[in-house]
Every structure is written in C-alpha cells, then in structure tokens.
C-alpha cells in the first residue's frame, strides 16, 4: 500500500510513500504520519491511500498515529479538498489548524497513583503499620496529594510504604481540560417559550434529512442559546455529534459553561489558545467518541468527527470566523455550510444582526429563515440615546465623556447596577505629535502611527508588534512638548477612575487578557459583581449575558467608520446592536448611550430603533448599485515584498493576467496601494476582483494562481477569497 501525503507546515504538494505492512492497519486519509522529507523526518497527513504509485523507489512511512482520525465515509476529506480548491491553497495547509506540531508529538498525560495492596506484612515500623491500617478502606488509586490530604502521608513515607509493599505505584491517564471547563455551575432548568419551541421544531424536523441551512434571526436576549441547546440535545439523542462555533475566546467561556450546564460532560473544547496537550486530549476525546459535542472558535469546524448531525454557528456575522493572516484563508461559517452538505448535518446560523450575505440568502430562499422576535420574560430591548459629541464640544466639554452619559453612569452606580462601556481602541493615546516641529511617530516597518501605551511607557505598532520607549524629547528637534492625541482605552480608564473614584473598574482588552485564563477571570469577577464598570474593546460587545447590567455606553461609535471598506457601516451597526443588547437582559430597565461625531450615519441611526431590517433595506441599495456582496463575489489579490517599484510592476502583471481572458461579468479594481501600504517592512499592492458568478471568479483566480506560482525573488502573492479584511 502507498500513502499520498500532504504537509501542513512544510512544502506544498503531495508526495507518495510506501506504507510498511505493520503500519497498514488503521491508516486512512487524515492519519498523521511521520515521513522522511529531504532527509529529515517530518509530520504530514495522509490524504489518500492506493495499492501502488506511478513513482519509482518510494521512501517509507516511519510512524503513524492511527487513533487521531476516522473518516470512513470520506466526507471530511471531501470537505478539506473543497476548501483547498475554493480558497486556493495547498491541501496540506487545510490541516494546519488541527494538526499542530504538538498535536502529533505529544503523548498522553499521566499521574502516579498509589493503591493499597492489602497484603499482611511483617517488618513494618509502628508508624508504617498505622498507615497501612488506615489505608485498608481505600480501594482506588490515590495521588500523592490525596494521600497527603486524607492520610497525612509525607512524600518520604509514601516511598517507604511502596518499598515495603504496602502501596503499589502505577500510572493513571488524566485529561487536560482548558480553564473554561473547570468551573461548571448548577444546571439551569428552562421551559422553552412558544416562539423558541417553534424554532426548535422547525429546525429539528430536518435532522437526518437533506435541508437548506437555517438562519436563526433572533433579537439579542431572545434565547438563541436555549434553542441551540435543545437542538443539540435532540441531535445527541439520535446518536449523532454536534459542532458549535462561537466567534471568539472572550465569549466562549460563558457560552461553554451554559452548554456544559445543560448537556453535561459530553463537551470537548477546541480553540487556538489551548495548550497543545489540551488540544490533543480534546481531539482524542472527539475521535474516540468519548465526547460528542465540539465547541470552539473557527477551527472547531474542522474537527475530525464522523457522524455530525448538527452544526451551529453562533453570531454568524462575526468577522473572527474568517482567517485572514494564514492559509487556509477560510470563513468557518461558509465551511460549516459546506460541511453540513457533505455530512448531511443540519446547519444553524444564528444572529441578532445577520451578515448581509446570510440575510440575503434567507430572503431569496437559499437559506430557511427562523425568527425569534421577543426577549425572554419581562425584558424588552433597551432604550437607546444618541449623543452628538460635536454639540458637547460646542458647549465646552472637551472630555470624551458627555454630560448625559456621565449623569447616567452616576445614577446607575447609585442604584448599584452594573455598566458596560465600549471603546474600541487599544492603548493610551492614539498618536504622538511634537508641537514644535510637527514630527509624528510612525512605525518603521508599517504605514501606521505608533500607539502610546502607558504601562511600560512605550510606543507600539498594533500591526507588527514593533515597540520602542516613549520619547521625552522629540528626536528631531529636541523639543519637549510632545502632544498625546486621541483617547485609547487606557486613558479612558484613568479618566473614569478620576471622575468616579468609588467605582470598581475592570478593563478588558488584548493587553489585559494576554495570559491564559485572564479573560475568564475578568468576566467571572464582573459576573460576581466584583466590578461596577466593565470597560472594554469589542471583546465586551459579543454574546455576554450579565443580568446585572443596566447601562451600556459607547464612548466613540464612529471609530470603525473611517476605514475605506464597503462593510464599514454594516460592521458598525453590528457592533452597536450587539453591545446594546447587553443591557437590560433581566428586566426592561436597560438603557444605552451612544456617543458619536456622526449621529446621522445610517449604521448609528438604526441603532436607536434596533432596526436591522430598515438598515438592511437602506444599505442594500448601494451594495446593488456598486455590485458588492451579496450581489457579487470578491477575491482580493495582494502582491507584497521588497522594493515598491517591483511590487507595483508585478501587481500590474497580476491585473493583466486577470483581464487576459475575455470576461463578461467580471470587474478588476486596481492594482493600487493597499490601505496598509506597508506592513512588516513589505510594500503591498492590491487588486480586487468582483463577479456575479462564482465560477467566473474562481476561474480567473486559478489563472492568476498558476501565472504567479513562481513570483520573482522577494515578492509574494496572497489570494483571499470572500475577503472581509480590506486593509
């Protein structure tokens, strides 16, 4: 037998290897194997097996991990092949999110346990005999910690008892579980509302049958999570597995808890912040069928589970489902729909603010729409007040806090209710300017301003991570008046502490959640009312469920609107509607204050009335006029590398290759310098391809891919299908 092997990390392309007879058993497409590649042993993945190869004198497979994969129906390999073709990347790369180095190299984790032998023994000291007597009641193996806790046995004593034959030492396997799962709560008992039950029934009747994907369009707080849980229960009862995708790790902790409370120990977590050991154990649990529910961020859609009956994509509009930076540049939501198709699983995309693509698909009948129109119980949607910051300035208030929001915060604190404040901007201040000579501080590697971070007094690039000490004098003119412009979340925190000295403030952003487990502890302490104000970036906008929150304030709603991106308005509306949805989830007293310099902008205006449909109707007109999604498909091709002239010239060639074949119904924009014209020292030029026909688009991109297979030295070409990142 031969195995065709692809490499997640090493070179692209497929290579044949001979499988020695003793490794043949259990070796299938998907099995990780170690093979010699350029005389080094490297881990790859089997993508097919065959009786023989056309190539002579094959090298041999060295090692195989056959317990890591089952795919008897070949549906997963089909899915992976579809991804490689659709997103234009080598097949091996598709395995990358799953088969990390650690996944294949790590063994299981064990602990030493000690079991009483019960033997009658001579030659024990008095103390040892007492210990042996006390241990007689124990019949399972105890760890060192347990022996110490229950029987006060020291390390020294344990060693003695083993050598005397009182205790037998052995190894027991332990499962490594990520933090989120270690804090289970009591299970919640719910009776679904009529609307929720209807939703469950209309989706659930399709289990095991071919069906269109469902769009569960339900307002914030309408109980979408309970609908998912009920569907998962039904699916598990039918003996089939479940995949649940949640957008980001900041959000998973709470959602995972809710699923675990309801479904018990059948859940395995998969996300990128897990340790390799945790990942390995989760995968093994899923492959072996010990766990039947995979829950996690984007890469969970790829887990090797064979009989999947239900795939849920929570907050389906969220952009974190798209992988921008690495191959495969996939959108987990779209892959979920394809996986449902290949594995005959019901797919549910849920959101209060669906992506225009999904909503359009539901309106045109490609998806099935299911709606939840009411908040649970007594809760209604919160009242939204929009504050025009231009007017504040006119009245002489130059702080970032409007008089109105300050009042509302005061009131809410006085009532001992909680507050969430959103400021979607990391760091202390946005940029620095020398008042004397006008010098600004740019990243030496990227075309962006450096951001001042007060902790560590440094200037940081948010694109490439470059950092330098903050200057006290201008390096250009030696002037001492350096102005810190704009408000970042650290400055906001400092100011809030000054204005509300008695309030307990928790800050949540990338900088406070860097270490493992930090996001969980911030959210847990807020849930337990140990903080009054949760100040955060978009991390706090999504999916969180805190009944104690009465007021939500958005400090600067228009931050995202300045990007040259046709989705800027959609994105702003989604963010505002999501964060607004955190207020008043228990009762009808929720209120939202949105501060902005652009109160008439449609995305902001629509937040006032929670009017997704009205907003969609307005926005969709210009999408159609300009042929943007959902009325077309996009591909973005970026040429990047050393030497601006070379990059520009090669980008022009790419554009030529795109337009060479006569293409009715396809438009090519560019090449032009990307918004991030420099990134990590590389110059970047972009072409945007639009077409109403996915087929025409794919064909044109394939043409570019083969034409640019070997770009000139120092240049690279990135292909991004259905891009969401327009920078």
Cβ 421 to ligand ADP shortest distance, Å = 20
CB atoms within 10 A of CB 714: 12
Q: Between residues 574 and 691, which has the closer beta carbon with respect to ligand ADP? A: 574
Cβ 293 to ligand ADP shortest distance, Å = 17
- Rounded to an integer, what distance in angstroms lies between the CA atom of residue 408 and that of residue 592? 9
C-beta separation of 50 from 1 below 8 A: yes
DSSP code for 302: G
Cβ 604 to ligand ADP shortest distance, Å = 21
Burial class (CB in 10 A: 0-12, 13-18, 19+), 484: middle
- Partner touching 222 among Zn ion, ligand ADP, none, CB below 5 to 8 Å by kind: ligand ADP
Cβ 461 to Zn ion shortest distance, Å = 3
C-beta separation of 700 from 691 below 8 A: yes
**Parallel, antiparallel, or unpaired for β 633-641 and 682-691?**
antiparallel
Which residues, 6+ apart, have CB-to-CB distance to 51 below 8 Å? 1, 2
- Partner touching 461 among Zn ion, ligand ADP, none, CB below 5 to 8 Å by kind: Zn ion
Binding of Zn ion by 117 (CB under 5 A): no
- Contact range with ligand ADP by CB under 6 A, out of 93-101, 214-222, 380-388, 617-625: 214-222
One symbol per residue from 176 to 205: x for binding ligand ADP (CB under 6 A), - otherwise; what is it?
--------------xxxx--x---------
Cβ 417 to ligand ADP shortest distance, Å = 16
- Partner touching 678 among ligand ADP, Zn ion, none, CB below 5 to 8 Å by kind: none
- Rounded to an integer, what distance in angstroms lies between the CA atom of residue 7 and that of residue 45? 6
Q: What are 708's two structure tokens?
A: 């640019």
DSSP code for 187: P
Binding of ligand ADP by 218 (CB under 6 A): yes
- Partner touching 466 among ligand ADP, Zn ion, none, CB below 5 to 8 Å by kind: Zn ion
- Rounded to an integer, what distance in angstroms lies between the CA atom of residue 113 and that of residue 143? 5
Q: 640 to 669, contacts with ligand ADP by CB under 6 A?
A: none
- Rounded to an integer, what distance in angstroms lies between the CA atom of residue 410 and that of residue 404? 10
- Partner touching 223 among Zn ion, ligand ADP, none, CB below 5 to 8 Å by kind: ligand ADP
Binding of ligand ADP by 221 (CB under 6 A): yes
- Partner touching 545 among ligand ADP, Zn ion, none, CB below 5 to 8 Å by kind: ligand ADP
- Partner touching 224 among Zn ion, ligand ADP, none, CB below 5 to 8 Å by kind: ligand ADP
List 31, 70, 75, 222, residue binding ligand ADP (CB under 6 A): 222
Q: Between residues 108 and 188, which has the closer beta carbon with respect to ligand ADP? A: 188
**Parallel, antiparallel, or unpaired for β 505-508 and 533-536?**
parallel
One symbol per residue from 520 to 559: x for binding ligand ADP (CB under 6 A), - otherwise; what is it?
-------------------------x--------------
Cβ 456 to Zn ion shortest distance, Å = 17
CA atoms within 13 A on the CB side of 466: 17
Q: Between residues 523 and 666, which has the closer beta carbon with respect to ligand ADP? A: 523
Burial class (CB in 10 A: 0-12, 13-18, 19+), 616: buried
Burial 188-198 (b: 16+ CB within 10 A, else e): eeeebbebbee
User: Of 64, 157, 165, which Cα lies nearest the Cα of 117?
Assistant: 165
How many chain residues touch ligand ADP (CB under 6 A)? 16
- Rounded to an integer, what distance in angstroms lies between the CA atom of residue 329 and that of residue 80? 13
User: Of 296, 302, 256, which Cα lies nearest the Cα of 273?
Assistant: 296
Cβ 544 to ligand ADP shortest distance, Å = 9
**Phi, psi (5° rounding) for residue 570?**
-60, -45
Residues facing residue 226 across a β-bridge: none
Cβ 536 to Zn ion shortest distance, Å = 24
**Parallel, antiparallel, or unpaired for β 458-460 and 467-469?**
antiparallel
Cβ 414 to ligand ADP shortest distance, Å = 25
Q: Between residues 3 and 549, which has the closer beta carbon with respect to ligand ADP? A: 549
- Partner touching 193 among ligand ADP, Zn ion, none, CB below 5 to 8 Å by kind: ligand ADP
Q: 366 to 405, contacts with ligand ADP by CB under 6 A?
A: 376
- Rounded to an integer, what distance in angstroms lies between the CA atom of residue 431 and that of residue 125? 74
**Strand intervals (E) in 19-96:** 32-37, 40-50, 63-64
Q: Between residues 315 and 509, which has the closer beta carbon with respect to ligand ADP? A: 315
- Partner touching 418 among Zn ion, ligand ADP, none, CB below 5 to 8 Å by kind: none
Q: Between residues 224 and 292, which has the closer beta carbon with respect to ligand ADP? A: 224
Cβ 468 to Zn ion shortest distance, Å = 11
One symbol per residue from 454 to 493: x for binding Zn ion (CB under 5 A), - otherwise; what is it?
-------x-xx-x---------------------------
Q: 224 to 243, contacts with ligand ADP by CB under 6 A?
A: 224-226
Q: Between residues 377 and 444, which has the closer beta carbon with respect to ligand ADP? A: 377
Which residues, 6+ apart, have CB-to-CB distance to 163 below 8 Å? none
Q: What are 435's two structure tokens?
A: 């008042």
List 223, 641, 670, 723, residue binding ligand ADP (CB under 6 A): 223
Cβ 240 to ligand ADP shortest distance, Å = 23
Q: Between residues 96 and 224, which has the closer beta carbon with respect to ligand ADP? A: 224
Q: Look-up: residue for tokens 């299911």? A: 370
- Rounded to an integer, what distance in angstroms lies between the CA atom of residue 568 and that of residue 557? 12
Q: Between residues 218 and 671, which has the closer beta carbon with respect to ligand ADP? A: 218
The SS3 assignment for 567 reads coil
Cβ 507 to Zn ion shortest distance, Å = 24
User: Of 632, 654, 658, 640, which Cα lies nearest the Cα of 722?
Assistant: 632
Burial 28-51 (b: 16+ CB within 10 A, else e): bbbbbbbbebeeeebbbbbbbeee
CA atoms within 13 A on the CB side of 651: 27
Q: Between residues 204 and 221, which has the closer beta carbon with respect to ligand ADP? A: 221
Q: What are 173's two structure tokens?
A: 């396997």
Binding of ligand ADP by 574 (CB under 6 A): no
Cβ 178 to ligand ADP shortest distance, Å = 22
Find the length of the chain. Answer: 727
Q: Between residues 362 and 682, which has the closer beta carbon with respect to Zn ion? A: 682
Task: Give the nearest residue (CB) to ligand ADP.
Answer: 223
- Rounded to an integer, what distance in angstroms lies between the CA atom of residue 383 and that of residue 608? 8
Cβ 317 to ligand ADP shortest distance, Å = 13
Which residues, 6+ apart, have CB-to-CB distance to 185 below 8 Å? 257, 261
Binding of ligand ADP by 578 (CB under 6 A): no
- Partner touching 463 among Zn ion, ligand ADP, none, CB below 5 to 8 Å by kind: Zn ion
Output the CA–CA distances (angstroms, integers) from residue 265 to 172, 273, 294, 521, in the order listed: 20, 21, 11, 22
Cβ 427 to Zn ion shortest distance, Å = 14
- Partner touching 220 among ligand ADP, Zn ion, none, CB below 5 to 8 Å by kind: ligand ADP
Binding of Zn ion by 447 (CB under 5 A): no
Please report, as ranges, the residues that interact with ligand ADP according to CB under 6 A: 190-193, 196, 218, 220-226, 376, 545, 585
Please report, as ranges, the residues that interact with Zn ion according to CB under 5 A: 443, 445-446, 461, 463-464, 466
């Amino acid at each position: 037998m031969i195995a065709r092997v692809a490499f997640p990390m090493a070179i692209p392309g497929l290579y044949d290897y001979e499988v020695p007879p003793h490794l043949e058993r259990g070796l299938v497409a998907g099995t990780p194997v170690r093979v010699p590649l350029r005389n080094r042993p490297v881990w790859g993945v089997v993508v097919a097996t065959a009786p023989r190869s056309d190539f002579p004198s094959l090298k041999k497979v060295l090692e195989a991990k056959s317990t890591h994969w089952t795919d008897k129906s070949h549906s997963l390999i089909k899915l992976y092949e579809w991804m490689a073709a659709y997103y234009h990347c080598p097949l091996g790369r598709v395995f990358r999110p799953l088969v990390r180095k650690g996944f294949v190299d790590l063994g299981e984790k064990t602990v030493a346990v000690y079991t009483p032998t019960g033997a009658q023994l001579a030659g024990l000291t008095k103390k040892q005999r007492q210990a042996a007597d006390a241990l007689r009641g124990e019949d399972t193996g105890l760890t060192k910690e347990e022996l110490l806790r229950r029987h006060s046995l020291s390390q020294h004593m344990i060693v003695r008892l083993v050598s005397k034959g009182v205790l037998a030492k052995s190894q027991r396997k332990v499962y490594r579980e990520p933090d989120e799962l270690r804090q289970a709560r009591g299970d919640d008992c719910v009776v679904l509302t009529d609307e929720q039950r209807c939703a469950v029934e209309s989706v659930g009747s399709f289990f095991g049958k071919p069906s269109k994907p469902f769009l569960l369009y339900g307002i914030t707080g309408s109980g979408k999570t309970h609908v998912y849980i009920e569907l998962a229960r039904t699916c598990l009862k039918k003996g089939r597995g479940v995949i649940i995708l949640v957008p980001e790790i900041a959000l998973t902790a709470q959602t995972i808890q809710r699923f675990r409370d309801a479904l018990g120990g059948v859940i395995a977590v998969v996300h990128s912040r897990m340790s390799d050991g945790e990942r390995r154990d989760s995968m093994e649990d899923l492959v072996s069928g010990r766990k039947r529910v995979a829950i996690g961020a984007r890469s969970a859609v790829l887990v090797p589970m064979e009989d999947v009956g239900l795939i849920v994509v929570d907050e389906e509009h969220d952009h974190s489902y798209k992988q921008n930076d690495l191959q495969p540049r996939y959108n987990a939501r779209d892959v979920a729909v394809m996986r449902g198709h290949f594995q005959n699983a019901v797919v549910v995309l849920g959101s209060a603010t669906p992506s225009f693509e999904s909503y359009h698909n539901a309106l045109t009948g490609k998806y099935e729409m299911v709606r939840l129109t009411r908040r649970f119980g007594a809760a209604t949607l919160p009242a939204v007040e929009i504050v025009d910051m231009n007017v504040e300035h006119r009245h002489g208030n130059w702080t970032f806090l409007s008089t109105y929001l300050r009042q509302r915060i005061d009131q809410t604190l006085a009532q001992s209710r909680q507050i969430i404040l959103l400021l979607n901007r990391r760091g202390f201040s946005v940029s620095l300017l020398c008042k004397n000579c006008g010098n600004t501080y740019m990243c030496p590697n990227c075309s962006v301003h450096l951001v001042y971070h007060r902790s560590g007094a440094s200037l940081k690039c948010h694109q490439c991570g470059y950092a330098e000490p903050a200057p006290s004098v201008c390096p250009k003119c030696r002037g001492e008046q350096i102005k810190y412009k704009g408000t970042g979340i650290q400055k906001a925190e400092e100011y809030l502490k000054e204005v509300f000295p008695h309030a307990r403030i928790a800050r949540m952003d990338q900088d406070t959640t860097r270490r493992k487990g930090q996001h969980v502890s911030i959210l847990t302490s807020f849930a337990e009312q140990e903080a009054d104000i949760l100040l955060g970036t978009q991390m706090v906008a999504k999916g969180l469920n805190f009944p104690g929150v009465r007021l939500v304030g958005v400090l600067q709603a228009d931050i995202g609107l300045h990007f040259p991106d046709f989705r800027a308005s959609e994105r702003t509306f989604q963010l505002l509607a999501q964060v607004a949805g955190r207020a008043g989830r228990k009762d009808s007293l929720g209120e939202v204050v949105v501060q902005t310099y652009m109160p008439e902008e449609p995305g902001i205006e629509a937040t006032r009335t929670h009017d997704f449909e009205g907003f969609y109707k307005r926005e969709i007109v210009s999408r159609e006029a300009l042929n943007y999604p959902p009325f077309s498909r996009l591909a973005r091709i970026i040429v990047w590398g050393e030497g601006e002239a070379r990059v520009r010239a090669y980008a022009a060639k790419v554009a030529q290759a795109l337009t060479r074949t006569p293409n009715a119904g396809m438009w090519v924009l560019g090449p032009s310098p990307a918004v991030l014209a420099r990134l990590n020292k590389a110059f970047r030029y972009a072409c945007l391809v639009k077409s109403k026909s996915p087929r025409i688009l794919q064909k044109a991109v394939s043409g570019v891919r083969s034409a640019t297979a070997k770009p000139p030295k120092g240049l690279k070409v990135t292909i991004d299908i259905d891009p969401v990142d327009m920078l």
